């Protein structure tokens, strides 16, 4: 009896493992194919002709991709600032609010996140059209409408992440800060924000990533001159898949997975430092500046370096400058040794 039961358990476990492997292959094999053929040394996406990285350079030089990437960076950066500000303030405001009010706000935030994107995009489009008629604005759809819609969507995500972090904070820290003579504003900046910083950074990066990758909502509320990178890619795919599309999709996939990994690492490790996440974000910003901004022509004219060597050297100098600025700012803010040892002296 026991032998039969054990044999059945092993067969059931094997069946579940085979099913899990089949499900993962079904979900991720197409993505793997896109990544592999981004390095294919042929315009055909059906036959492998050798390894190359030329399609990534070609994508960087495409004016349509540059324009879409520039709009995506503007939208995602602006949305990140708004989402972090609104979401963090909302989470802090709900900390000591009545239970009924907290329940209502949490329900609204979850509803905002789980609502189908097509519903959010359509309702936002109708809102902006009516607002444009009421205000007499003909072309109201553009960067502003995309950022406003994304901010409403992602601020709820940031609020939930920050609130989850805040649930583990000790209220006695605020009381201790007040007992030491700190004002509520000083307590907010010196105690609350540093403790919430990992969740704020993780939420901000997720808000940036979601806004950067979004297609459905952006398609509804974008204007003629505000097409983002996902919309540009969709326009290119309509005429056939090319290795350039595969290369752009590979870069977006790498950026998204790395960002989610860092955000998850910080959220699941209480003592994790946010510095790796900040360093990754600085690398992304530097890469974008070199790819679509005037930094590339300036750096090439200054050093004479082009291609991958020019990109690597620019990124190295960019990171070194940011690190130097960071430590210089810390040195300016740090009080002198006498003041640290003898507070009464200050």
**Which CATH class name applies to 63-273?**
mainly alpha
Give the tens place of pLDDT for each residue, 65-95.
Answer: 878 888 888 888 888 889 999 999 888 888 7
Q: What pLDDT was estimated at residue 224?
A: 78
| Cα diameter, the chain | 82
Q: What pLDDT was estimated at residue 140?
A: 83
Q: What pLDDT was estimated at residue 63?
A: 79
User: What residue spans define the domains of the chain?
Assistant: 63-273
In eight-state DSSP terms, residue 188 is I
In eight-state DSSP terms, residue 271 is T
Q: What pLDDT was estimated at residue 1?
A: 54
| pLDDT band with cut points at 50, 70 and 90 for residue 343 | very low
Q: What's the average model confidence in pLDDT over 270-281?
A: 70
Lowest mean pLDDT among 86-95, 239-248, 316-325: 239-248
Residue 170 has, within 13 A of its CA and on its CB side, a CA count of 5
Distance of alpha carbon 185 from alpha carbon 300, whole angstroms: 46
Lowest mean pLDDT among 85-89, 213-217, 326-330: 326-330
Q: What pLDDT was estimated at residue 61?
A: 77
First to last CA, the chain: 81
Mean pLDDT for all residues in the chain: 80
Distance of alpha carbon 218 from alpha carbon 262, whole angstroms: 26
Q: What pLDDT was estimated at residue 4?
A: 65
pLDDT over threshold 80, residue 268: no
């Amino acid at each position: 009896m026991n032998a039969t039961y054990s044999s059945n358990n092993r067969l059931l476990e094997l069946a579940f493992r085979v099913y899990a492997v089949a499900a993962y292959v079904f979900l991720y094999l197409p993505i793997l194919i896109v990544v592999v053929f981004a390095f294919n040394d042929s315009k055909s996406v059906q036959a492998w002709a050798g390894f190359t990285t030329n399609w990534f350079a070609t994508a960087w030089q495409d004016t349509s991709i540059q324009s879409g990437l520039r709009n995506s960076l503007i939208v995602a950066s602006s949305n990140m600032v708004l989402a972090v500000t609104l979401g963090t303030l909302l989470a802090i405001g709900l900390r000591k609010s009545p239970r009924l009010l907290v329940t209502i706000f949490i329900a609204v935030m979850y509803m905002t996140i789980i609502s189908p994107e097509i519903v959010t995009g359509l309702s936002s489009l109708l809102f902006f059209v009516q607002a444009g008629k009421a205000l007499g604005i003909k072309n109201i759809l553009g960067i502003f409408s995309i950022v406003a819609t994304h901010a409403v969507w992602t601020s709820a995500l940031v609020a939930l992440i920050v609130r989850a972090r805040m649930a583990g904070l000790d209220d006695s820290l605020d009381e201790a800060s007040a007992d030491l003579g700190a004002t509520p504003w000083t307590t907010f900046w010196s105690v609350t924000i540093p403790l919430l910083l990992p969740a704020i950074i993780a939420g901000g990066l997720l808000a940036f990533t979601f806004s950067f990758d979004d297609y459905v909502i952006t398609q509804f509320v974008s204007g003629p001159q505000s097409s983002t990178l996902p919309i540009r890619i969709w326009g290119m795919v309509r005429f056939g898949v090319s290795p350039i599309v595969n290369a752009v999709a590979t870069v977006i996939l790498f950026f998204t997975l790395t960002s989610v990994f860092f955000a998850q690492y910080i959220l699941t490790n209480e003592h994790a430092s946010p510095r790796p996440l900040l360093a990754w974000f600085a690398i992304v910003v530097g890469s974008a500046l070199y790819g679509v901004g005037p930094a590339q022509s300036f750096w090439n004219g200054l050093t004479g370096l082009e291609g991958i060597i020019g990109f690597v050297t620019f990124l190295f100098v960019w990171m070194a400058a940011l690190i130097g600025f960071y430590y210089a700012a810390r040195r300016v803010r740090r009080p002198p040794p006498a003041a640290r040892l003898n507070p009464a002296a200050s």
